[in-house]
Amino acid sequence: MQDYIGWVPLLPFIGFVLLAGAALFRKQEIPETLSAIIGAGSVGLAALLVALIGREFLANGAEPFTVTAWQWIDTGGLQAGFSFYIDGLTLVMLGVITGVGFLIHLYSAGYMRGDDGYRRYFSYLNLFVSAMLILVMADNLALLYLGWEGVGLCSYLLIGFWYKDAANGAAARKAFIVTRVGDTAMAIGLCVLFMHFGTLDIQQINGEAGAPGVDAGIATLAALLLLGGAVGKSAQMPLQTWLPDAMAGPTPVSALIHAATMVTAGVYLIARTHPLFEASEFAMMAVATVGALTLFIAGCSALVQSDIKRILAYSTISQIGYMFFALGVGAWSAGIFHLVTHAFFKALLFLAAGSVILSLHHEQDIFRMGGLRKKMPVTFLSFVIGCACLAALPFTSGFYSKDAILLQAWNHFGGLHWLWLLGTLGAIVTGVYSFRLLLLVFFGKEGSASKHCNDANTAIMSGPLLVLCTLALAGGLLTLPLAGVFTTDPAQTGQLVINHTAEIIAIAAPLIGLAIALFAFRKGWFAENAGSKTWFGKQLAPWWRNGWGFDAAYDALLVRPFTGLAGLNKSDIVDSFYKFTIQVSQVLHRQLSATQTGQLRWYAMTMVAGSIFILALVALL
């Protein structure tokens, strides 16, 4: 089976080609059902293939293997093939991408019904899945970069999917440009790695970086540059600003790309090259700091949002912050574990939010919702499970992963540390905003939009929701085959010391959050205009709501000066040179045209004059 691994990215790609190419051969749109079958079917087949390969892989003792499809680049010492490296980490990612991806495709088939761009939607989605699979399967950084840019492109296409609204186009451009900042850093990082190690093969680089005596300066530089790419793609500080705006795309897209898969690419990249990061104390600390700050900042922002999707967007940023935090403290497998459970419950939450939005006729303001629990039972169930996992209540999947992160962070820092404190505070905040969302949408009085609620869940939408519910609840019991990948992780080597104080605090934090949320809801503090007179409502809440002013700062520091400079340069000296050329050409043209009089005598005369000129020339030279 392992030889067929190449078909995993190829199947969705074939789906993309079929869907995109359909327009070339048929003047009319192909039927929606056919689009859905091609779109979801190709990913479903890929998921099946991954499952079969995974079973064989585990049966063989989780031995990593490489499959080369063909040589892609072979020039000047740089060799990069379409070759795939499969180990436990890759397999986990493959499972998440194809499995969760397939469920989201299924859900989309119902959600997008009736949209003009139905076929286009599925073609983009398939291309995205294909690119993401290439990203995680690549055995060299060049191929990884191909997948990396591929998912960036698809993200751009899908955020701007409803391109007729100019705001969506702007959001798409923002996502593309902001992540491009990170991508540039990453590209430079690849160059640094290639210059130093003479290869882009990931296992070789890992091997050399893990060996003693590696140049710490180079390792730090390369790791920080890769981190730059990762924070861009994974929406971490300081490049997190694109993700909330990316909610302009269709909701299942947010579920697939901006929660479950693409944004975790940064986490995957760091985990994949972890020996490089381990070689640099500074880089590890940087990853942990980025993660801890992001998780706290984004959590606070989520606390004050009023748009259901923006709350989830900020919670995504915050949860990925946890993953980065985990990576930074060397809790590699805990980070990946959180990636997996997060993929389950965040996909669940986004899809459930999609159902709410669709049922309320595209209403996204949570203050106009409320009391929906009776009207939408399946969605309500999904939300309860999703929020419980997000908040990491005990015995949900989110609990197992987040608990492991906080525990290992405590061990890593050897006791109390401000980053650990941030993480724990973040857990409380997470509990508060999760249940604020749940309570405002499904409990309390019916809002203005709830009255027109019309449960839009069809079987094809409820099915994936229920499957994801099960996964989100039971996901914590999974054992990921990561032992062979993260050999330095104490959780994998069995050296994990369990500190009971930290353990208790980690369990208590989400419960405290829940309690605060319930209390505040009772008191009415979550109401739309509650506390607008206080310092919190006047100063802090708007600041947090706007993402701690990052957008405004970038606008003032970068965008405005840049457009200003560009405006200054509009009528520059170079332009005037071209204008001058045009004018000279036109003048010469007119003067020469004037010589074409059409008179024979004049023509004969010019011939004679020309001859004299030429003879004079000969005489002179």
Partner 1 sequence: MNAEALQALTPILTLSGVIILLMLIVAFLRNHRLTLGLTLLGIAVTVWSTLNVSPLLETDPIAVTGLLVVSRESLLFYLLFLLSAAVVSILAFHSFEQGTAIQPEDSGEKRNKGDFHTRPTFQEEFYLLLLISLLGAIVLVSASHFATLFLGLELMGLALYALIAFPAIHANRNSRSKDQALEAGFKYLVLSALATAFLLFGIALIYAQYGQLQFAAINAAAAAGQGTPVLLAIGLVLLLIGIAFKLSLAPFHFWTPDVYQGAPTPATAYVATVSKGAVIAITLKLFSDIGAFEMRAPMQVFAVLAVTSMLAGNLLALQQENIKRLLAYSSIAHIGYLIVAFLVGRQEFGREAVIYYLVAYIVTTLGAFAVVSLTADYARRANTQSSPYRISFYKGMFWRSPWLATSFTMMLLSLAGIPLTIGFIGKFYIFAAGVQAGYWALLSAVILGSAIGLYYYLRIIVMMVQRPGAVVHDDASSGEVSPGEVSPSAKLTHEGVSIAISGQMVLAVLTVALLAFGIFPQILINWIQ
The residues that touch partner 1, with contacts defined as CB under 8 A, are 585-586, 588-590, 592-596, 598, 600, 602-604, 606-611, 613-615, 617-618, 621
26 or 590, CB closer to partner 1?
590
498 or 592, CB closer to partner 1?
592
Secondary structure of the chain: what % helix, strand, coil (to 5)? 75, 5, 20
Q: How far is CA 465 from CA 105, 123, 348, 392, in A?
A: 12, 23, 6, 19
211 or 614, CB closer to partner 1?
614
48 or 615, CB closer to partner 1?
615
Beta bridge partners of 66: 85
Say if CB 8 and CB 95 are below 8 A apart. no
> CA-CA distance, 529 to 513, in Å (whole number)?
21
Least CB distance from residue 189 to partner 1, whole Å?
36
CA–centroid distance for 40 within its chain: 21
27 or 362, CB closer to partner 1?
27
534 or 586, CB closer to partner 1?
586
> CA-CA distance, 468 to 96, in Å (whole number)?
12
Angle between helices 377-391 and 397-413 (to 10 degrees): 10
> CA-CA distance, 459 to 238, in Å (whole number)?
41
Q: Which two tokens stand for residue 576?
A: 């005037």
Least CB distance from residue 29 to partner 1, whole Å?
24
Query: At 618, which amino acid appears?
Result: V
33 or 611, CB closer to partner 1?
611
Q: In sequence order, which ranges of 26-70 are alpha helices (DSSP H)?
A: 32-59
Say if CB 329 and CB 359 are below 8 A apart. no
Least CB distance from residue 27 to partner 1, whole Å?
16
Three-class SS state of 529:
coil
The torsion of the CA quartet 463, 467, 473, 478, rounded to 10 degrees, works out to: -170
Q: In sequence order, which ranges of 360-396 are alpha helices (DSSP H)?
A: 377-391
Least CB distance from residue 580 to partner 1, whole Å?
14
Least CB distance from residue 311 to partner 1, whole Å?
47
580 or 613, CB closer to partner 1?
613
28 or 593, CB closer to partner 1?
593
Least CB distance from residue 305 to partner 1, whole Å?
46
31 or 610, CB closer to partner 1?
610
> CA-CA distance, 468 to 586, in Å (whole number)?
70
Phi, psi (deg, nearest 5) at residue 213? 90, 10
DSSP 112-146: TTT-TTHHHHHHHHHHHHHHHHHHHHBSBHHHHHH
Least CB distance from residue 116 to partner 1, whole Å?
23
Q: Which two tokens stand for residue 574?
A: 């170079």
Least CB distance from residue 620 to partner 1, whole Å?
10
Which residue shows structure tokens 């009736």? 114
Q: Which two tokens stand for residue 447?
A: 């809002």
> CA-CA distance, 79 to 97, in Å (whole number)?
28
416 or 604, CB closer to partner 1?
604
Choose among 296, 343, 340: nearest CA to 544. 296
Least CB distance from residue 367 to partner 1, whole Å?
48
Least CB distance from residue 572 to partner 1, whole Å?
20
Least CB distance from residue 606 to partner 1, whole Å?
6
Least CB distance from residue 604 to partner 1, whole Å?
6
Q: Are strands 65-75 and 78-86 parallel, antiparallel or unpaired?
A: antiparallel
> CA-CA distance, 367 to 446, in Å (whole number)?
9
> CA-CA distance, 248 to 261, in Å (whole number)?
18
535 or 578, CB closer to partner 1?
578
